[in-house]
Amino acid sequence: MSDTLLRGRTLTFHKSPEGVDDTAAYTYEEDGALLMRDGKIIAAGNFDSVKAKAGAAQIIDHRPHLITAGFIDTHVHFPQVQVIASWGSQLLDWLNGYVFPEEARFSDPAHANPMADRFLTLLTDHGTTTAVAFCSVHSPSVEAYFTAAKTRNMRMIGGKVMMDRNAPDTLQDTAQSGYDDTKDLIEKWHGVGRAGYVISPRFAITSSPAQMEMTGVLAQEHSDCHIQTHLSENRDEIAFATALYPSAKDYLDIYESYGLLSDKMLLGHAIHLNDREVASLASTGAHPVFCPTSNLFLGSGLFNDARLRDAGITNGIASDIGAGTSYSMLQTLNEGYKVLQLQNQSLHALRAFDWITRGNADVLGLADKIGTLDVGTEADVVVLNARATPAMSLRMERVETLADELFLLQMLGDDRAIVQTYVAGAAQK
Ligand code: GUN
Ligand code: ZN
């Protein structure tokens, strides 16, 4: 495959910026370039220095646009693409009324296959190049997901939800079949190409103690797989979950007592936490995942980012489609900014862009592969236009700094701001 050079304004992060003046946290090139070969970045820097190494590479000139690493979404439900924006209820009623009937359709490959394809197109159209998804309880939904990702050579993480109670019969596995199916899927897909498997007990309400036990066994047997679930999203959910596990000290202790907590663990929402839970998240290295559009949509509550970070915890940020209302990680940042404003916490744009790229890669333990424009990493790249709409263009007339441009993208940007998305070096549009 021939080399490709992308020219534009390049921005990549080395760590989470402490503030707008923390220039050591990132590298920005006004006339920058990336050289891509065989799906990897093989040179990066200012245009002249990269051009000198580029030989006969094809040059794609993206000036004056901004080139960053592709966005990473650390919590999303692939079978909820057709129930996004379903009106009127909070978590448990929303799950029972909309989500469970919808997920039942994913037992059929004739439904799951085209949905997987459309889901991935939506992600790349919004600049997202890696996501961590819950599939439905049915193995065919996972097959559909990973097959579609393989066709596009996307680094995608996914897993079948395990759920053996408090759901319609057609959506239930058993402790044994959930274990067996998960094991088969791990053997078939984990580490194959760019695929990664995530062990996925849905949440304590839909997994019996026997299933939690099996999840703990899976986590031990496959310590290189991620684990994902939901934690403390909604007050009624917490009351129900803790009533189902009366010996647990609190909601987190349900997962903890089955040995699930480690730095491989992703816990969606994690809104209503006590001090013990925060201390335990910190000591185990588990990762809460902030899902702002979802939390506002379902009226779940306000994620306390500063409290968790002050305890030394590294949080992810995610869309949580389909309780989330946008595929765009830019719109996720927009709502995230507002959720934090309500708590007198201010998410500045440099930290925000680090979060949806290198930060989320770090949460996944994948920062050596994705999330930056570093040489040797995979060429998942997004090209952004801060003048994508008339309103953005008008605002840009007064923008003077990189931080202001990023904040404009954070607040007003969406799929219209995505000029191009490259997955392993291949243009998606
Ligand atoms: N808790 C358990 N399942 C789900 C789900 O599908 N979406 C959300 N937002 N919360 C959950
Ligand atoms: Zn979720």
* pLDDT tens across the length of the chain (429 residues): 589 999 999 999 999 999 888 999 999 999 999 999 999 999 999 999 999 999 999 999 999 999 999 999 999 999 999 999 999 899 999 999 999 999 999 999 999 999 999 999 999 999 999 999 999 999 999 999 999 999 999 999 999 999 999 999 999 999 999 999 999 999 999 999 999 999 999 999 999 999 999 999 999 999 999 999 999 999 999 999 999 999 999 999 999 999 999 999 999 999 999 999 999 999 999 999 999 999 999 999 999 999 999 999 999 999 999 999 999 999 999 999 999 999 999 999 999 999 999 999 999 999 999 999 999 999 999 999 999 999 999 999 999 999 999 999 999 999 999 999 999 999 999
Which homologous superfamily is 71-327 in?
Metal-dependent hydrolases (3.20.20.140)
Does residue 320 have its Cβ closer than 6 Å to ligand 1? Answer: yes
Domain with CATH 3.20.20.140 in the chain: 71-327
Residue 101 CB contacts under 8 Å (≥ 6 apart), including other chains: 168
Residue 415 CB contacts under 8 Å (≥ 6 apart), including other chains: 125, 126, 127, 327, 328
User: In this predicted structure, what is the pLDDT of residue 1?
Assistant: 57
Helix (H, G, I), strand (E, B) or coil at 36: strand
Does residue 294 have its Cβ closer than 6 Å to ligand 1? Answer: yes
Q: Which of 74, 75, 76, 77 to mutate to test the pocket of ligand 1 (most atoms within 8 A of CB)?
A: 77
Q: Which two tokens stand for residue 253?
A: 């202790």
Q: Which two tokens stand for residue 128?
A: 């997202």
User: In this predicted structure, what is the pLDDT of residue 2?
Assistant: 84
CA of 134 to the centre of ligand 2 (A): 7
User: In this predicted structure, what is the pLDDT of residue 54?
Assistant: 96
User: In this predicted structure, what is the pLDDT of residue 9?
Assistant: 98
CA of 207 to the centre of ligand 1 (A): 13
Which residue from 103, 168, 166 is spatially nearest to 140, judged by alpha carbons? 103
Beta bridge partners of 362: none
Give the span between the Cα atoms of 413 and 71, in whole angstroms: 13
- Atom number of ligand 1 nearest to Cα 237: 1
Element (H, E) at 135: strand 128-135
Query: What φ, ψ does residue 249 adopt, rounded to 5°?
Result: -70, -35
Domain with CATH 2.30.40.10 in the chain: 4-70+370-427
Residue whose CA is closest, atom 3 of ligand 1?
Answer: 202
User: In this predicted structure, what is the pLDDT of residue 188?
Assistant: 98
Q: Which two tokens stand for residue 113?
A: 């296959």
**Alpha helices (H) in 291-388, listed in sequence order:** 292-297, 305-310, 329-341, 349-354, 360-363
CATH annotation of 4-70+370-427: 2.30.40.10
User: DSSP state, 70?
Assistant: P
β-sheet with 265-269: strand ranges across: 71-77, 128-135, 157-162, 196-201, 226-231, 265-269, 287-290, 316-317
User: DSSP state, 237?
Assistant: H
Nearest ligand to the C-alpha atom of residue 79: 1
Provide the CB-side half-sphere exposure for 192 (13 A, CA).
14
- Atom number of ligand 1 nearest to Cα 322: 7
